[in-house]
Amino acid sequence: MPEDTVWTAPEGSWASSAGRRRNMQAIRSKDTKPEQLIRRLVHAQGLRYRLHARPLPDLRRTADLVFRPVKVAVFIDGCYWHGCPEHYAAPRLNAGYWSDKVARNMARDRDTDERLTAAGWLVLRFWEHEPSDVCADKIALTVLARRAAPEKL
């Protein structure tokens, strides 16, 4: 867009400015730094997993790490997008839109947890601000424990 052109948000747009739009579009939905670090640590412990896979084929949602044989689905949630009780701060601009979006994300997260649990999966959720080594250790302990007791799956 030429610099002398003033950007105006289309009717009903979520973006308050062209700069905000570019910024929000640049935010990654997968392969975030916390996710990559946890993956490296889990991999270093000898565990193998599927990335960004659907735990259930008929559920159009993907987990960040999926351990299919032991039915463990891992999600690393961003503080803003998933409404972290410690770090979420409501936006000042276009607050209604963004607050509703985060509320929908949170409701979808709960629905995903319920559906996976009903199908016999164990869901592990971590916030992006949690120490990566602690998350990786919990994932490894959980997966190894489920491998050791396959009759409980």
Name the residue ranges covered by the structural domains of the chain.
30-146
pTM: 0.80
Write the burial class of residue 146 (CB in 10 Å: 0-12 exposed, 13-18 middle, 19+ buried). middle
Of 93-107, 110-124, 130-144, the least confident: 93-107
Architecture of the domain defined by 30-146: 3-Layer(aba) Sandwich (3.40)
Q: pLDDT tens digits for 75-106?
A: 999 998 899 999 888 878 878 888 899 999 99
Confidence of residue 53 (pLDDT cuts 50, 70, 90): very high
For residue 75, list its beta bridge partners: 125
Report which of 64, 59, 43, 67 is spatially closest to residue 121, judged by C-alpha positions: 67
Q: What confidence tier does 7 reach under pLDDT thresholds 50, 70, 90? A: very low
